[in-house]
Structure 1
Amino acid sequence: MSTDTAGRELSHAVLDIEGMTCASCVARVEKRLQRLDGVRATVNLATETARVEHPADVSAEQLIGAVGEAGYTARVRRPAAAPADHTEHHAGGGHQHDVEDVPGRTTLRTRLVWGIVLAVPVVVLGMVPAWQFPGWQWLSLVLTAPVVFWAGWPFHRATFANARHGALTMDTLVTIGTFAAFAWSLWAVLFGSAGRIGIRHDVVLFGPVHDPTSLVYFEVAAAVTVLILLGRFVEQRSRRRAGAALRALLELGATDVELADGRRVAVDSLRVGDAFVVRPGETVATDGVVLEGAAAVDESMLTGESVPVDVAAGSEVTGGTIASGGRLLVRATSVGESTRLAHLARLVDEAQAGKSRVQRLADRVSAVFVPAVIVVAVLTLVGWIVAGAPVASGFTAAVAVLIIACPCALGLATPIAVLVGTGRGAELGILITGPEALEAAERIDVVLMDKTGTLTEGRMSVARVVTANGAAPDEALSRAAAVESASEHPIARAIVAAVDTVPAVADFAGFAGHGVRGVVAGEEVVAGSIAFVADRMAPLPAELLDAARDAAESGATVVAVGWDGHVRAVIAVADRVRDDAREAVARLHRTGASVVLVTGDNAGAAAAVAREIGVDEVVADVRPEGKLAEVRSRQAAGLRVAMVGDGVNDAAALAAADLGIAMGGGTDAAKHASDITLTAGSPVAVAAAIELSRRTLGVIRGNLFWAFAYNVAAIPLAVAGLLNPMVAAAAMAFSSVFVVLNSLRLRSALRPARRGASAPAAR
């Protein structure tokens, strides 16, 4: 346990927080928590959690109380006893019930569906005078009330919470606009002339209305609520994906384990020092040291490399990795939150917490726009009264100001463009998670690319066969495949896959970490490491030694094959570079970004790939923490960093990078931690993803400008009483239509403009 500068012991806690909607909520919660003496807090909007470091004398009740003072509810998460506990919480990125159906809760989807059902007839009746039957306004009142107060309750709840702390956000403007339209309409129906049976709306474009109390704006209140609710629904569906990265990581762990005495128990009951068994094909339950046995362990979750690591007594193994080819007895050295897998989950969580501070463009503008609109509306009412005009006329003008400023188009500007842009991206095999990815893609200085599964195919295959002593390549490969066919090792599978017909093998024997032997067509055949085969046959001829040396320098794994007393061939097995990797790097260079190869593989293999595809820099032999450090060091130097990867070992770096891009064939952890996923799996799509993101962001900015331009231009007319609130509502609607039409331009983004264009084809 650590101590602070005053010598007090520090504890750690995780709080689950409900009610946060934007980056300003995050800042407010952090500020309140950190007002407590000695407390440091990091709040993650994506998972709706706060990681808190606090002195031992600061109680959980004090932490919860501080969050409550900020206007939100919190609870301290109990220490998880099993991975399933983590999984349940993180299944939807914090509070999945905001979007998904959870028994006993009203979901955002439910509010949206019922809001649409109730609002459509209100909007039709309000905007089409010919359909306004006797008593239509009373029906509109009945239908609008639940839309505004029930469907729109998430906005109003946030508005009231923000108001207690002097904060004004988009939610504030939604509440003010919808309440103003509904309140005016309710007053006009109950106390004005709008409630008379048979009355219809006056159609006056400009100039004062003869009887302002004859107008109702139920359709404005209903339409704004539903459209903003739609935008929030789209936004939250994107945002909640972020927390799924932690679920994907934690699901890699084993759920139960066999102890040395044969009992099978839940993995959470393991303690440091316990001995447990790992059979071929099983997941290692927790970090430990091998006591007995030998096997090949797939550590791709840590290194990203497809070649397994051979382990024996004394070797360290990591929980979540997969053993093959042998039985292991392992002594647990770390359990629970101390394991390497839990550490990776914390790295991802911390990285996402930093990214969640990205401000929405609309929120930043609203911080200025909301108070300005309120001040203008109040001054309008006061000005009309001071000028001696009827209070009703002044109130009508003030309401027109609020309605014209109502953020229908503003609320749609980002989510609609994201929706269309991501739809186009899906056609191109590019899945964009949300607005943060678009902002991040605007200026990328350096692209860090993982090797295995990103620039290479991610699987072993035979790259070259060199023979000696009169053997033919096909014969050597066939005999090697025969003895390797009984092995589960990935290198063995690659050799077997390289031949059409595998001969029968007899008297097979495997030697973990060394090689295999068997009888093929009446002759003993040995395949494996050079030392293993040479020890059973004869020293390698010079030409085979040279070929083996060249293959090893290029990063390939060398398998020697011998029979009839002689070593007859060496087979180079490697992860083959993708055919389009060079083109991908060239396209990234054309975007103005430098490309760095960051891999857990050895320096020789990394350098060979780098030379072949033309990257600018190589960083080899790095583990997950090293990749994360590479991202942060370049960010500290003022560069905007994109990370491209496909493995669990890339998840933390993907989450921390300004732009995380996951290859579609990769792990769930990588996909969920990233901002963009390339479903087609081609590295060429990386540059296309950046270009599409930049175009989408440009459309968002255009939307935001015009969303304000249409409405702000009419505010002076509303102040002067020359703008019928109905026209204000129409202007608001038109700005929304414009935002949608402008966003639809993205549907044609990245279409090849000339022959040979290399943008991904729609599938």
Structure 2
Amino acid sequence: MHSTRLSVEGMTCASCVGRVERALKGTEGVSEANVNLATESAEVSFDDAVKVSDLITVLDKAGYPARVEELVFDVEGMTCASCVGRVERALAQQEGVTEASVNLAAETATVAYLSGVQDAESLKKAIAKAGYEAKPRIDREAAPENRKADEARALKSKLILAAALTLPIFVIEMGGHLIPALHHWWMMTVPEWLWRMVQFALTAVVLAVPGCVFFAKGIPSLLKGGPDMNALVALGAGAAFLYSTVVTFWPQIVPMGAQNVYFEAAAVIVTLILLGRFLEARAKGQTGEAIRKLAGMRAKTARVERAGEVIELPIEEVVVGDVLHLRPGEKIAVDGKVLTGDSHVDEAMISGEPIPVAKAEGSPVIAGTVNGEGAMTYVAEKVGADTMLAQIIRMVEEAQGAKLPIQSMVDKVTMYFVPAVMVLAAVTVVIWFAVGPEPALAHALVAGVAVLIIACPCAMGLATPTSIMVGTGRAAELGVLFRKGDALQALQEVKVIAFDKTGTLTEGRPDVTDLVTFSGDEEALLAEVAAVEAESEHPIARAIERAAEARGLGLPEVDKARAIAGHGIKAEIGDVSLLVGNMRLMTREKIDVTAFEAPLAELADQGRTPVLVARNGEAAMVLGISDPIRPASRKAIEALHARGIKVAMVSGDTRRAAEAVARDLGIDHVEAEVLPKGKAKTVEALKESHGAVGFVGDGINDAPALASADVGIAVGTGTDVAIEAADVVLMGGDPSAVVTALDVSRKTMGNIRQNLFWAFAYNAALIPVAAGVLYPSFGLQLSPMLGAGAMAMSSVFVVSNALRLRRMRAAI
């Protein structure tokens, strides 16, 4: 199976989404197609029998062409026409390339390719494989692309023209209804036939120029039997215009009482819907703000060592192994490792921590982070699409393009919605023409047009994807990446969140937390113990070394040391003999352990690991070693409890140590002494007893549990294996980000439900009003112009409501 992501043009409402999905799924060999209105993209899974070109043809036939982009390469090494042919063939054979043109004189290659299928890097490699070196021409000063901003500008121009032409008609016609004196004066001043001709001319221009998009897209979709929102507008405005045109030029065809014109309705409908689309495009442009911010973090150039010189190159030309020079205040161009120099780097974009991180020789550096006060050199280890920033952007894009389970219900409704509305409009016209008040034809026409205009399913189609885009984008800014879009819906349903202990709730690094000295100078004794432990590779040995280093202690030279497996170390420093280890070592060496008993009992209650020290045959010191709890763990668990979530902890540690941590943090359920395979079984048991489970972990041994949980949450400071197995990634190591992820999920799903309620309630309430259900009792009939305004504003409301999610803050 293969999959690809196509960028699709021309979709305006939920019925468009359904049409594109049906067209793609109807292609033999396509197993799945998910179309997203907000991102204007289609994710397609297909087998070997299908080519991407086949999918492009299907989209073209459906009336929704795939978006094509163009890129120019400077190509080196071409000397003749056969070189040109070779490069053109190499490019043309790449999936998604629609056209390739090579110019020998200019030494350039111009490539047209499907947006989302190809990129500069893969095309560059294709040219290199043909034997030529290529460099993409990229405007270094250009801001990240924002198609919605361009669309909004184009719509603004159309709106201004439509409004300028519509305003005279609206003022005279509506003003005449509101101010009878104005109506009488106008009728006495301007002949009715002349005014109708002026209205006809102005409205015709409105429909033919700024409003042509509705007819150019709507009529073909209607003829193909798959009407969309454009078809509704085209039918509504077109019907009003045609009826008025007949009354203007052939009044004898229409009964005397029905010789009214509705040019103002047709013109105002188009103008108001253009206004709605303009506002919607502006608002939708803001939904992708998170991606643009992330893309804006990329460095555009880098100072690279080449042939003994340091030269400035576009970021696209940096390759793995290059040595880069970094000045104070510059952005780091690619992921790498420091070779020389030291500095502090602002990594808030990755970890969310505001405090700059110290960097020295051997320290990792991440693309997009900002260097502080020092100059450094570093070697490139990951470039292009492999950098952490590129992966973050890709995760956010994939999450934003996801289709949640809740969307399937909307898709089923909108599949039949537009045809049902057209049938309802036709029924409305027939009923009012048969039983309506005089002039019945005019009354029926107004009611039918109002139904067509007010029932556009735009708001339904935008309700879910816009909230997903804004919610997942804002989550990324808060340090939470939803790798899989459906996790956004699943996380709000979890009843219990289980944490791995080591490295998730704790720092993952043992430290000396207790020091009890029975005799002698504490610091001198600690220095001797640290010197002995320097011979060991055990993590506890490193903890004791760090404790001595923190006090600035110099370590004496060890004359003799011997490790005793399972017991500890026996050593000599000058005329001092030392035993460092557990109780078994002390018993074996016949040390009086009476002094050890009280501190040992206390450390056991606290779940800490004891290290016993005897000096010259006598009990001298007890060190308590533990993995410190992260500062934010307690607040995170309190916040989860406040949100009605039960908290469990799964650990491979001893039960006593695990229960001590659980007591300290207020955890509800503890599973201790669990092997990696057992963690997945524990998750399954929690599912059976509590319901949906979220699991938070950071290590390779957590991968099975992350995969088996309803929502796997990986701490971003953990291993790649854990991150790959997870549905949600916390970019920092702070467990409070789990609460932020839960809040994002709940608020985003709440926002989706609000949008869906509005979209469905709006149609459920106003379609009957437009059809005239209130007319018999109250004499009220909805004007098509008010319907157009209400319909346009419904989409703007949905998108604006989704944008409120941008105000979300970190939970703690």
Which category describes the TM-score, using the shorter chain as reference length?
0.5 to 0.7
For 2:45 and 2:472, locate their aligned partners in 1 and report how far apart those are by CA, in whole Å: 32
Structure 1 range deviating more: 225-234 or 668-677: 225-234
Given that 1:479 and 1:503 are in contact with CA atoms closer than 8 Å, whether structure 2 keeps it comes out as no
Given that 1:645 and 1:662 are in contact with CA atoms closer than 8 Å, whether structure 2 keeps it comes out as yes
Q: Which amino acid aligns with 2:786?
A: V
2:533 pairs with 1:474: no
Q: Which runs of 5+ in 2 are unaligned?
A: 9-13, 60-94, 96-113, 124-143, 170-200, 249-258, 295-394, 776-780
Change beyond 3 A, Cα 1:117–1:709? same
Q: Which amino acid aligns with 1:478?
A: A
State the shift of 1:461 in Å: 1.0
Given that 1:434 and 1:675 are in contact with CA atoms closer than 8 Å, whether structure 2 keeps it comes out as yes
For 1:732 and 1:638, locate their aligned partners in 2 and report how far apart those are by CA, in whole Å: 44
State the shift of 1:719 in Å: 3.7
2:3 is paired with a residue whose SS is strand
1:267-301: per-residue Cα shift (whole Å, max 9, x none)?
A: xxxxxxxxxxxxxxxxxxxxxxxxxxxxxxxxxxx
State the shift of 1:368 in Å: 2.5
Give the alignment of 1:711-750 within 5 angstroms: 711-719=763-771, 722-739=781-798, 742-743=801-802
1:108-147: per-residue Cα shift (whole Å, max 9, x none)?
A: 9665454334223224444566889999986996778789
For 2:536 and 2:204, locate their aligned partners in 1 and report how far apart those are by CA, in whole Å: 78
2:502 pairs with 1:452: yes
Counterpart for residue 462 of structure 1: 512
Change beyond 3 A, Cα 1:182–1:595? same
Counterpart for residue 625 of structure 2: 573
State the shift of 1:18 in Å: 5.3
Given that 1:420 and 1:743 are in contact with CA atoms closer than 8 Å, whether structure 2 keeps it comes out as yes
Counterpart for residue 116 of structure 1: 152
Give the alignment of 1:372-451 within 5 angstroms: 372-381=417-426, 384=429, 387=433, 400-418=450-468, 436-437=486-487, 439-451=489-501
Given that 1:410 and 1:708 are in contact with CA atoms closer than 8 Å, whether structure 2 keeps it comes out as yes
Q: Which residue, 690, 705, 708 being the options, matches 2:757?
A: 705
1:404-457: per-residue Cα shift (whole Å, max 9, x none)?
A: 222333344334545665677678766667874553354432221221233222
1:634-668: per-residue Cα shift (whole Å, max 9, x none)?
A: 43567122323334444554455344444465456
Counterpart for residue 405 of structure 2: 359
User: Percent sequence identity over matched residues?
Assistant: 33
Change beyond 3 A, Cα 1:607–1:483? same
Q: Which amino acid aligns with 1:378?
A: V
Q: Which amino acid aligns with 2:413?
A: V
Structure 1 range deviating more: 184-193 or 729-738: 184-193
Q: Which residue, 679, 682, 688 being the options, matches 1:630?
A: 682
For 1:663 and 1:457, locate their aligned partners in 2 and report how far apart those are by CA, in whole Å: 12
Given that 1:179 and 1:221 are in contact with CA atoms closer than 8 Å, whether structure 2 keeps it comes out as no
Structure 1 range deviating more: 22-31 or 535-544: 22-31
State the shift of 1:177 in Å: 0.4
State the shift of 1:217 in Å: 2.5
Given that 2:470 and 2:803 are in contact with CA atoms closer than 8 Å, whether structure 1 keeps it comes out as yes
For 1:439 and 1:517, locate their aligned partners in 2 and report how far apart those are by CA, in whole Å: 58
For 1:117 and 1:633, locate their aligned partners in 2 and report how far apart those are by CA, in whole Å: 56
Q: Which amino acid aligns with 2:273?
A: V
Give the alignment of 1:549-628 within 5 angstroms: 551=603, 555-561=607-613, 564=616, 568-579=620-631, 581-628=633-680
Whose Rg is larger? 2
Give the alignment of 1:679-694 within 5 angstroms: 681-683=733-735, 686-687=738-739, 689-691=741-743, 693-694=745-746
For 2:468 and 2:152, locate their aligned partners in 1 and report how far apart those are by CA, in whole Å: 21
Change beyond 3 A, Cα 1:395–1:632? farther
Q: Which amino acid aligns with 2:545?
A: V
2:210 pairs with 1:210: no
2:542 pairs with 1:493: yes
Given that 2:7 and 2:116 are in contact with CA atoms closer than 8 Å, whether structure 1 keeps it comes out as no
State the shift of 1:573 in Å: 1.8
Given that 2:240 and 2:449 are in contact with CA atoms closer than 8 Å, whether structure 1 keeps it comes out as no
For 2:26 and 2:540, locate their aligned partners in 1 and report how far apart those are by CA, in whole Å: 56
1:604-647: per-residue Cα shift (whole Å, max 9, x none)?
A: 32222223333232223335543333333443567122323334
Q: Which amino acid aligns with 2:552?
A: T
State the shift of 1:462 in Å: 0.8
1:650-701: per-residue Cα shift (whole Å, max 9, x none)?
A: 4554455344444465456656765655567554564565456434433332
State the shift of 1:708 in Å: 2.9
For 2:722 and 2:529, locate their aligned partners in 1 and report how far apart those are by CA, in whole Å: 36
Give the alignment of 1:746-757 within 5 angstroms: none
1:453 is paired with a residue whose SS is helix
Given that 1:403 and 1:729 are in contact with CA atoms closer than 8 Å, whether structure 2 keeps it comes out as yes
State the shift of 1:463 in Å: 2.0
State the shift of 1:176 in Å: 0.3
For 2:163 and 2:654, locate their aligned partners in 1 and report how far apart those are by CA, in whole Å: 69
Give the alignment of 1:486-525 within 5 angstroms: 489-498=538-547, 499-506=550-557, 522=574
For 1:507 and 1:737, locate their aligned partners in 2 and report how far apart those are by CA, in whole Å: 76
2:673 is paired with a residue whose SS is coil
For 1:664 and 1:568, locate their aligned partners in 2 and report how far apart those are by CA, in whole Å: 42
Q: Which amino acid aligns with 1:500?
A: R
Counterpart for residue 82 of structure 1: none
For 2:592 and 2:21, locate their aligned partners in 1 and report how far apart those are by CA, in whole Å: 67
For 2:523 and 2:805, locate their aligned partners in 1 and report how far apart those are by CA, in whole Å: 52
2:554 is paired with a residue whose SS is coil
For 1:220 and 1:510, locate their aligned partners in 2 and report how far apart those are by CA, in whole Å: 85
Counterpart for residue 3 of structure 2: 16
Counterpart for residue 269 of structure 1: none
1:622 is paired with a residue whose SS is coil
Q: Which amino acid aligns with 2:3?
A: D
For 1:488 and 1:592, locate their aligned partners in 2 and report how far apart those are by CA, in whole Å: 44
State the shift of 1:62 in Å: 7.4
Q: Which amino acid aligns with 2:542?
A: R
Given that 1:122 and 1:222 are in contact with CA atoms closer than 8 Å, whether structure 2 keeps it comes out as no
TM-score if structure 2 supplies the norm length? Answer: 0.53
TM-score if structure 1 supplies the norm length? Answer: 0.56
Change beyond 3 A, Cα 1:141–1:660? farther
For 1:553 and 1:190, locate their aligned partners in 2 and report how far apart those are by CA, in whole Å: 88
State the shift of 1:731 in Å: 0.7
Change beyond 3 A, Cα 1:147–1:214? closer
Q: Which amino acid aligns with 2:626?
A: A
Counterpart for residue 275 of structure 1: none
Given that 1:409 and 1:739 are in contact with CA atoms closer than 8 Å, whether structure 2 keeps it comes out as yes
2:416 pairs with 1:371: yes
Given that 2:33 and 2:43 are in contact with CA atoms closer than 8 Å, whether structure 1 keeps it comes out as yes
Given that 2:33 and 2:44 are in contact with CA atoms closer than 8 Å, whether structure 1 keeps it comes out as yes
For 1:655 and 1:48, locate their aligned partners in 2 and report how far apart those are by CA, in whole Å: 26
